[in-house]
Amino acid sequence: MTSASAPVTPASAAAVDVRGVWKRYGDTDVVIDLSFDVHPGEVLGFLGPNGSGKTTTMRMILDIIRPAKGDISVFDGPPGVEHQDRIGYLPEDRGLYRDVKIIDTLTYFGALRGLSQSAGRARARQLLDEMGLGDAAEKKAAELSRGMHQKAQLIATILNDPDLLIIDEPFQGLDPVNAELLKGVVRDQRDAGAAVIMSTHDMGDAQTLCDRILLIDEGKRLLYGTVDRVREAFSDGAVQVSGKGIPTDADTLDSVTDVHEVDGAVRYLIRDGATPQDLFRELASNGTHVEQFAVQAPSLDEIFIRTVAGDPRAEAVR
CATH number of 236-296: 3.30.70.100, 3.30.300.30, 3.40.1280.10, 3.40.50.10440? 3.30.70.100
Instruction: With CA atoms as reference, report the closest residue to 231 among 267, 207, 200, 258.
Output: 207
- The pLDDT score that the predictor gives to residue 7 is 40
DSSP sequence for 218-261: TTEEEEEEEHHHHHHHTTTSEEEEEEES----GGG-TTEEEEEE
Q: Is the pLDDT of residue 91 over 70?
A: yes
Closest CA to 283 of 258, 262, 252: 252
Q: What is the mean pLDDT of the chain?
A: 89
Residue 11: the pLDDT is 47
The rounded percent of the chain whose pLDDT value lies above 90 is 59
Per-residue confidence band for 286, with pLDDT thresholds at 50, 70 and 90: confident
User: Is the fold of 16-231 the same as that of 236-296?
Assistant: no
Across the range 197-216, mean pLDDT stands at 91
Alpha-carbon Rg for the chain, nearest whole angstrom, is 22
Rounded distance between C-alpha atoms, residue 291 and residue 273, angstroms: 25
pLDDT at site 279: 95
Q: What are phi and psi of 75, to 5 degrees?
A: 55, 45
CATH class held by domain 16-231:
alpha beta
pTM above 0.75, yes or no: yes
Average pLDDT over residues 203-218: 91
Domain boundaries, the chain: 16-231, 236-296
How confident is the model at residue 94, as a pLDDT?
67
- Give me the pLDDT at residue 6, please: 41
Give the list of residues 6+ apart from residue 180 with CB closer than 8 angstroms, or none: none
Whether residue 288 has pLDDT greater than 80: yes
Which residues, 6 or more positions from 41, have their beta carbon under 8 angstroms from its beta carbon?
8, 10, 190, 191, 193, 194, 195
Average pLDDT over residues 196-206: 89
Confidence of residue 5 (pLDDT cuts 50, 70, 90): very low
Question: Average pLDDT, stretch 234-262?
Answer: 88
